[in-house]
Amino acid sequence: MKLPPDTIIATTKLDEYLLRHRDEDDKSGFLALAGYTLENVDRLLNDLRTQLLPLDAEFFDQTEYGAKYQIRGTLTGPNGRVLPVVSIWMKEDATGKAKFVTLFPDKS
């Protein structure tokens, strides 16, 4: 299944979570390998929308807030390096809207 093109990707999710160093569950170091930094958060947002969102989303969990989907794919970053990723998305029951949740390295 495809998620809608107007799926919500909150900038705060990117610049306050994915691209900011965290002591636990840090993803900023992984994304930096491809050149993603706080200075180019808009590039990450655009790449999620153009490189991952058009791919097939696979349902994997129903939560109290809505259905969760994963999209496996690659992100080609600003420096040209390709990162294999698993991205997580949710279709919220309350709003009917789809939104980006997180991503992590695809180690499969």
Its pTM stands at 0.94
Looking at the 3D structure of the chain, how many domains does it have?
1
In a domain, 5, yes or no: no
pLDDT in tens, 25-73: 899 999 999 999 999 999 999 999 999 999 999 999 999 999 999 999 9
Which CATH number goes with the domain that contains 25? 3.10.450
In a domain, 2, yes or no: no
Asked if the model's pLDDT at residue 83 lies above 90, the reply is: yes
Residue 90 CB contacts under 8 Å (≥ 6 apart), including other chains: 63, 65, 66, 67, 68, 69, 98, 99, 101
Determine the pLDDT at residue 55. Answer: 98
pLDDT in tens, 87-100: 999 999 999 999 99
In a domain, 1, yes or no: no
Asked if the model's pLDDT at residue 9 lies above 90, the reply is: yes
Enclosing domain of residue 15: 11-105
Task: Judge contact between 84 and 70, C-beta under 8 A.
Answer: no
In a domain, 32, yes or no: yes
Determine the pLDDT at residue 108. Answer: 83
Determine the pLDDT at residue 15. Answer: 94
In a domain, 75, yes or no: yes
Distances (CA, A) of 68 to 3, 21, 45, 76: 11, 25, 20, 24
Determine the pLDDT at residue 62. Answer: 97
In a domain, 30, yes or no: yes
